[in-house]
Amino acid sequence: FPEFNSLLKQNVSCTAVSFEPLLVDLKTKDKQPIIDSKFAGPNVFYHLPNVKLPPRPTFVTVSETANPYSFFVELVDHTTAIELGDLSAQLQLACPTLTPLSSPVIGQLCCAVFSQDNDWYRARVTEIHNEHAKVVFVDYGNTDEIPLSCVRPIPEKFLRLPSQSISCCLANVDPIIKQFPSESITIFKALTKQKQLTATFKRLNERHQSVVVLKDESIEGENDIYQLLVQSLQEHARHH
């Protein structure tokens, strides 16, 4: 967003409007708003807090998978699950009454329809083309491409719950790999799909993903998902 970035290089004032979530009001030195309808509509830049990663091993479920180096997990937390359910119910009531965003921008938080169930979810715009927007649903990690008519502004009250999906990569997976063999993706999905796993979050990598060790505690013996993946791939190679 070159024009917006050039504005931010000027002397600007930054006033915290609130902290849960963090909202800031940006103005130029002559008190003119930086973010106006030309960019994102309101004169407020919305920031959705991230869920806090526990320092100890914790239960998670894998919610969305591209490959072992790019997937999303959610913490298993009964209280948060109830809060997310309540939020979803409120979104279904509020979003149909909101006016569609006429000019959403990449990176903007919004409410969006998931085309597979026609329900409303919190989302972030990642691409815009041909009167359509590609969005990522911030509480699950899955994506969809939808008409702009299905993208609505997100009221501030829906931004207090942290985003629930955590972008991850599996520890020990070689980041140099650009394309994973289809069998590695199939095996990884089979090892993780619809399972409650134990996750140990190690660090953030250069892609701002959480490097994570996953274990399936329901398995006796070797239960490290990375090791199970390697073993399965070796066995697959022997038979092919």
2-47 pLDDT, tens per residue?
545 555 555 555 544 333 334 444 555 555 545 443 444 443 446 7
pTM above 0.85, yes or no: no
Average pLDDT, the chain: 84
User: What is the distance between the alpha carbons of residues 234 and 240, in angstroms, rounded to a whole number?
Assistant: 10
Q: Is the dihedral of CA 232, 234, 239, 240 positive or negative?
A: positive
C-alpha–C-alpha distance, residues 138 and 238, integer Å: 40
- 133 vs 107: CA distance, rounded Å: 11
Query: What's the Cα-to-Cα distance from 160 to each of 15, 19, 110, 153, 233, rounded to whole Å?
Result: 19, 9, 14, 15, 42
Residue 167 confidence class, pLDDT cut points 50, 70, 90? very high
CB-based contact 73:53 (threshold 8 Å): no
Q: Nearest Cα to 142, choosing from 161, 125, 165, 163?
A: 165
Identify any residues that bridge with 147 across adjacent strands, giving them in sequence order.
132
Other CB atoms closer than 10 Å to residue 221's CB: what's the count? Answer: 5
State the DSSP string of 4-72. HHHHHTS-EEEEEEEETTEEEEEEETTS-BSS-TTTTSSS-EE-PPBPPPPSS-EEEEEEEEEETTEEE
Is residue 145 within 8 A of residue 158, CB to CB? The reply is no
CA–CA separation, 101 and 151 (whole Å): 6
CA separation for the pair 64, 141 (Å, rounded): 6
pLDDT digits (tens, 9 = 90+) for 105-151: 999 999 999 999 999 999 999 999 989 999 999 999 999 999 999 99
**pLDDT value for 8:** 55
> Residue 89 and residue 107: Cα distance in Å, rounded?
25
Q: What whole-number distance in Å separates Cα of residue 87 and Cα of residue 43?
A: 25
Which pLDDT belongs to residue 22?
44
Token pair of 223 as six digits = 């239960």
Q: In this structure, are residues 205 and 164 in contact, taking their beta carbons and an 8 Å threshold? A: no
